[in-house]
Amino acid sequence: MSEMIVSVKKLKKSFKGFKALEDVSFSVYKNDVFGFLGPNGAGKSTSLRCMLSLIEADDGHIEIFGKSLRKNRFEVLSNIGSIIEKPDFYKYLSAFKNLEIMARISGRQVSKSEIEDIIHFVGLEGREKSKFKTYSHGMKQRLGIAQALMHNPELIILDEPTTGLDPQGIVDIRELIIKLSKEQGKTVILSSHQLSEIEMIANRMVIINKGKSIIEGEVNELLNSSQMMVKFSSDDPKKFCSILTKEFSDIADLKVTDSEIEFEINRENIPEINSLMVGQNINISGIEQKRKLEDYFIKMIQNEK
Amino acid sequence: MLLKNTHNELIKILAKPRSYIGFIALTVLIGVILLAMKADGENFISFVTASFEQTLSFNGLILNGNLIAFIILQMLIIHVPLLVALVTGDLVSGEAAMGTLRMMGTKPISRNSFLLSKFLAGAIYTFFLTLWLAFLSLIVGQFMFGTGDLIVLNSDGLVIIPEYDIMWRYGLAFCLAYLSLLSIATMSICFSVFSDNSIGPIVSTMAVIILFTIIGSLDVSTFDYIQPFLITTHMASWRSLFEIPIPYDAIMDSIIILFVHIIGFTLLALWWFNKKDINT
Amino acid sequence: MKYILILIIGLFSGAYTAQNPAQDLLNKVVEKTSLVNDYSASVLIKPDVPMIKSLPVKAKIYFKKKDKFKVVSKSIAILPKQGFTDVNVFLSNPKNYMVVEAGAKVINNTTTRLLTVIANESSSEIILAKLYVHPKHYVILESEITTRNSGTVKVNYKYSSQLSYGLPSQIKFTVDVKEFKMPKSFSSNPHKVGSSKKSNRKTGVILLDISNYVVNQGISDAIFKN
């Protein structure tokens, strides 16, 4: 296993009695594109703010690059580039001036030519002298990424970077993140409330909900698990259930309604179940299948609404 | 990092349009006063000598640049702090409102350095505003009205200071005025740390100045204990430099009180800023 | 008979002379000062007036017959309202006043003759003047001038090189100074220096040391213009 870059253990934070974080723990390894997934209000931004010392956690421990954040703030933050929520800059300054200001306190020497290079890298050449207030949302996001990258950090933290972008913009950001990880060897922590987004680019992830870590692991393992949640639509659910439970012993989470039967089963058994029911003259009007974790995540979001 | 970020802060101050309001306001205000004095200054100053003119006559150049500068300082020393607070009150809370505080908070600069660089930039801005005030009131005033003895009215009567004895007094007076304005700047930056919106600290600073000025001017025994410690009481201490003899002890007391305010507000701001969660 | 006539004429002459000796003395004083057509001089003005703090001031004074007077000073010079020339102008016309001799006083080892001058016109600025005159040199050593609007001013004179013209080398004015009231906003002073030591003096002194007289050399009228 590669080197651990980030170790967050039992993070706790309350705001005026409200428990924003109760027990958040996860680990990030070198070259990971790490997905930090959770519904709105789960505590993602709060956790990231703690990692970037914007917020002081009430309890817990954060280690980055093997160093305690509390005791080595300068060294740690010098090697991190981040965007928390939307990228905000000084409206009355040009993009170039904004980057110069950030560069001056980035902890590393960043030359003017390096700033020009990064502006070119994020596709803003020709607009660097324009005032930030004239920028579109997509351009602001690009500038945010520029300031996160210009001092060549090892770790990049992006908080919902595709929010508000058009489809092309989303694709661009996705490709950029993959490029950063594969070509430049950066470690990226990417937070999102969209599972599909994490699934497309992350190799490892953690899901948090209501300030607690729920599950952490490789994306492939978590999302491509053979266990599926299947929903059959039938006109005779009772008979369906009776046959199902008789023939298959590894059914779990069985739920029956007037016209639907939902349960957890190994994906390989689904065609067999279908054939069996049809053979028993039970009409099947529909089959819906989701990965167990995806189903869990969707229910989490629905509960939050 | 402190100096680098001070450089950043100065760039930001210079780029903001509101930073120039103070300079423009001073230019217009002082310009109006100078023109008014040019038009009707003799009548204005006869008010100063009126009570003596039954028995005495005053000969020589009374209405001169030195007197004009004194009159201007007298009129504006309560108003100029508001112009300072307009910029310094926004230094932290403005960033919180804009969201840039969040961006800057993730950089490897300590919160102490970050905040102290704002104090330093605020102090530099205040210095240049004071310099501009000095230039317009004294230099332009002397250019328009010439130089001469300075006749000053205070609670004991008239003091006439010879021309050769004036400039060093003005030098120290503007230094004292700067110290007063710096204490206001510090106070407004401190208020700015406690707020996430741009207007609150500026209005709070103005409210404090107005309230303390009123308390300081009331002849009520209840306030006798607190008046000596109010920041606004000592903002007029520069006037004491135009006494004969100069009350150096009393001026030193004012300097100490103002410094205590400056240090107190700075420490309070640093304490809260280090404790504060940046949620904006 | 002849001797009786001479005696009678002598008595009448004596009587005529004895009728107004005060006026005669005053005429001699005025006559002396009228020898001066113009003069300029340097003056050091030292005010010592309650509620005014001021250092000595150097100035230049100019006079031209009959009442042109100018003080030229870059510094602010405080002088009595009642000027240098008011008394002389008043005394130059005997129709303005009535004068009687009212006694004597020793001033600087000289027994001076007191002349009391009373204005004839009710509208005159000078109401009453008490003049202590040197009997031999016909110069005023001390005066007390009561004016309509400026109160009473006491003046002491010393003479040296310009005694022949009756021009003093030192003049000391003692003036009435009323209590001064001013708006608080003008006088706000955080340190309130000296406010606990308010003076009870009702008079102030202005001392003028006059030197470098240039007499009757001609002075342009332009000097007296503002």
pLDDT tens-digit map of A21-61: 999 999 999 999 999 998 888 899 999 999 999 999 999 99
Count, in order, helices (H) and strands (E) of chain C.
4, 12
What pLDDT shows up at residue A221? 77
Which band of pLDDT confidence, cut at 50, 70 and 90, is reported for residue A198?
Answer: confident
Are residues A90 and B8, on separate chains, in Cβ contact within 8 Å? no
Chain B residues whose beta carbon lies within 8 Å of the beta carbon of residue A76: 108
Cβ-nearest to B11 among A52, A88, A101: A101
* pTM for the predicted model, two decimal places: 0.83
On whether residue B67 sits in a domain, the answer given is: yes
Residue whose C-alpha is closest to residue A155's, from A29, A70, A26: A29
Determine the residue type at A103: A
A8 dihedral zone (left: phi>0; alpha: psi -120 to 50; beta): beta
With an 8 Å Cβ cutoff, are B155 and C192 in contact?
Answer: yes
Identify which has the larger pLDDT, B89 or A214: B89
- C50 near B CB under 8 A: yes
Measured between CB atoms, does B196 come within 8 Å of chain C? no
Q: What pLDDT does residue C7 have?
A: 62
Q: With an 8 Å Cβ cutoff, are A97 and B278 in contact?
A: no
**C99 and chain B in contact, CB less than 8 A:** no
- Mean pLDDT (whole number) for A200-222: 88
Domain presence at residue B263 = yes
- Give the closest residue to B106 by CA, choosing from A106, A59, A86, A67: A106
Burial of C21 (0-12, 13-18, 19+ CB in 10 A): middle
When scoring B154, B229, B252, B253 by the number of chain C Cβ atoms within 10 A, the one with the most, hence best to mutate, is B154
How far apart are alpha carbons C154 and A126 in whole angstroms?
Answer: 88
**pLDDT tens across B219-259, in order?**
788 788 888 888 888 988 999 999 888 999 999 999 999 99
Q: Over the range C173-198, which residues count as b (16 or more CB within 10 Å of their CB) and which as e?
A: bbbebeeeebeeeebbbbbebbeeee
Q: Do chains C and B touch (3 or more CB pairs under 8 A)?
A: yes
Which chain B residues are within 8 Å of C44, Cβ to Cβ? none
Give the residue from B238, B263, B130 showing the smallest Cα distance to B187. B263
- Report, in angstroms and rounded to the nearest whole number, the Rg of chain C calculated over CA atoms: 21
Identify whether B280 is part of a domain: no
Distance in Å, alpha carbon of B10 to nearest chain A alpha carbon: 11
Average pLDDT per run of 10 along chain C, which is 226 residues long?
60 53 85 88 92 89 85 87 74 82 88 90 84 90 85 89 91 77 48 51 89 91 82
B16 vs A contacts (CB less than 8 Å): 92
pLDDT at C182: 52
Name the residue of chain A whose CA is nearest to B103's CA: A88
Beta bridge partners of C174: C154, C205
State how many domains chain B has.
1
Of the candidates B32, B146, B39, the residue with the CA atom closest to the CA atom of residue B79 = B32
Q: Is residue B215 part of a domain?
A: yes
Which domain covers residue B160, as residue numbers? 2-275
Query: CA–CA separation, A29 vs A188, rounded Å?
Result: 10
What would the pLDDT profile of B99-124 be if each residue is shown by its tens digit? 999 999 999 999 999 999 999 999 99
Which of B54, B153, B156, B257 has the most C C-beta neighbours within 10 Å, making it the best mutation to test the interface with C? B156
> What residues of chain B lie within 8 A of the CB of C203, using their CB?
none
Position B114 scores a pLDDT of: 96
**How many residues would you count in chain B?**
280
Domains detected in chain A: 4-218 (3.40.50.300), 227-304 (3.30.70.260)
C74 shares contact with chain B (CB less than 8 Å): yes
Tokens coding C52 = 């005014």
Contact B153, C186 (CB under 8 A): yes
Give B197-209 pLDDT, tens digit per residue: 989 999 999 999 9
User: Measured between CB atoms, does B257 come within 8 Å of chain C?
Assistant: no
Percent of chain A with pLDDT over 90: 50
Compute the mean pLDDT over every residue in chain A, rounded to the nearest whole number: 89
Nearest CA in chain B to A82: B106
Three-state DSSP at A208 gives strand
Residue of B nearest to A94 (CA): B15
Report the distance separating Cα A96 and Cα B15, nearest Å.
Answer: 14
Residue B28 near residue C41, CB atoms below 8 Å: no
The percentage of residues in chain B with a pLDDT greater than 90, rounded to a whole number, is: 72
CB spacing of A73 vs B99 below 8 angstroms? no
Closest chain B C-alpha to A299 CA, distance in angstroms: 29
Q: Which chains touch C (3 or more CB pairs under 8 A)?
A: B
**Domain for residue B254, yes or no?**
yes
Write out chain B residues lying below 8 Å of A15, CB-based.
Answer: 277, 279
Distance from CA of B131 to the nearest CA of C (A): 24
Select from A76, A90, A107 the Cβ nearest to the Cβ of B100. Answer: A90
User: Is the model's pLDDT at B94 over the cut of 50?
Assistant: yes
Instruction: Please indicate whether residue B279 or residue B130 has the higher confidence score (pLDDT).
Output: B130
State the nearest Cα–Cα gap between B28 and chain A, in angstroms: 26
Close Cβ partners of A23 (under 8 Å, ≥ 6 residues apart): A10, A11, A12, A211, A212, A213
Interface contact flag, C76 B244, Cβ < 8 Å: no
Across the interface, do B51 and C192 touch by the CB < 8 Å criterion? Answer: no
Alpha-carbon Rg for chain B in angstroms: 21
